[in-house]
Structure 1
Amino acid sequence: MPMSRLPTYFISHGGGPWPYMTGAFRRNFDVLEQSLVDMRHELVDKPKAILVISGHWETGGFAISSGVKPGMVYDYHGFPDYLYHIAYNAPGSPELAGRVRQILGEAGIDAALDPTRGFDHGTFSILKPLYPDEDVPVVQLSLHASLDPALHLAVGRALAPLRDEGVLIVGSGLSYHNLQAMRGSGGYEPSRRFDAWLRETLAEAGKERSARLTQWEKAPAARAAHPREDHLIPLMVVVGAAEGEAGAVTYHQEDFFGGLTASSFRFGQVPATADSTTADRLTA
């Protein structure tokens, strides 16, 4: 029986090492956590491997983590000491890393292998709730430091065949990422306006969607939502990998940290045997 083509996902990954925390701060992520549990259920079977494009890894050219046993990157500040000793112990996959490099090379896109790169919090914060058994191999692909949306859409188009090979492609960022404004109420309205544009845009499929994303700075409150677009660019890769397929909202919250709006998205269809309650839930 031929393998089903896997959908792609953009996940708004929340803040810091939240799955490993307890107490009031942890409660900010209850809705996000449930969406990741739903994602696991709608995928039905575990993928052979996961390719994560995280907003927390940028390199001068593209790089691919290729270690057998990746370590951890504690890329956050001001948390209790124990959160700098946590570990997500999923294996790496040198085989997948080599396959990604091959595919990109055939598309004329250079990428280097990095055997030392560990899991940053853009990766382990979503994978801990998604696959808590830590038994699915994980590879990361860096962002190109240019943060060029068209380039990252092209990378996604090149990587699309992986979806037929049992590889789950996940972009990890945030639909709203203005840390300064998040500390008060200044982000409430910009996050709402940009998120509305994003949901409308991502409901489309094909070239019109990609064209709008390459000009995302023209969206309402675009730069107020993303003063720097590192947490938006992973979206381009997963959209490029599913360019002709419709988008659906998998997580939407309008009271994130007291009033921010945040969303996650799926592109393409879930396996036919998935629970209908976790099927398409596109929110206009």
Structure 2
Amino acid sequence: MGAQSNAAPVIIKRKKVVGGEGHHGGAWKVAYADFVTAMMAFFLLMWLLNATTEKQRKGLADYFSPSVPVSPVSGGGDGAFGGDTLFSEFEMVQNDRGASERNATESHQARGTLGVDLSDQRRPEGEEFRKLEETLLGRSGESLVSDALRRHIVTRVTDEGLIVELFATPDQPLFEPHDGTPTPVLRGLLGALAQAAQTVTNGLALSGHVRAHPVVLARNPVWDLSTERATRVRTELEALGVEPARMQRVTGHADRSLVAPNPMAARNNRIELTFLRN
């Protein structure tokens, strides 16, 4: 019998190591998050292009443009301090970042801008247009037209100027059905318009619009009819004392700019007189 040994047996344990190819350490999550962020920014850009006006887009573009003077003491914005800091009024004037005046009052603090044109609020025509509207629509208590004629007038102010729209109703047309002969309703409206036009010196633009006609017609008269009616209104206004030199544009738009849901509605028969901005 052999002698027994007190040495412990040696046990060798082999561990199988599995590679991490299937998990990639989570790097794909970072790449996916970057992709989602880029897509969100892209769709936000597409929404802004569709939801903003040309003037607003210009303001956004000017904000990120290096041509806009942005200094360390100016935020470049149009917020609570108008793009300036609390210390802007203590800087030198006319250095693109300081005060607007050497001794500025509270109502004449320096104001920042992003290039958005706010001149519409300060144009001198604004007050004249308001008075014209009040005179035609009787908002000031006195009107150049009667209540029966006033319901044929709609006014609105745009970037181009003050638009006075004269429109027909089913029972009171502005012209004879198939030509440019004015009705008594239109003659009364033009008389008031000519009188109102004498109070300002703005240039004038005329545009004629007519309702749609059936497509079965061999010859659609909408273009000739709208142009003829606009031209007839021009001659009537000039005969009532409006200077011919003030006429800047006379156009016929046919049935391409309808305002009523029904293309053949009488409401689409209208004349638009625009008092152009100087």
Q: Which has the higher contact order (CA 8 A, sep 6+)?
A: 1
Query: Normalized against structure 2, the TM-score is what?
Result: 0.28
Query: Normalized against structure 1, the TM-score is what?
Result: 0.28
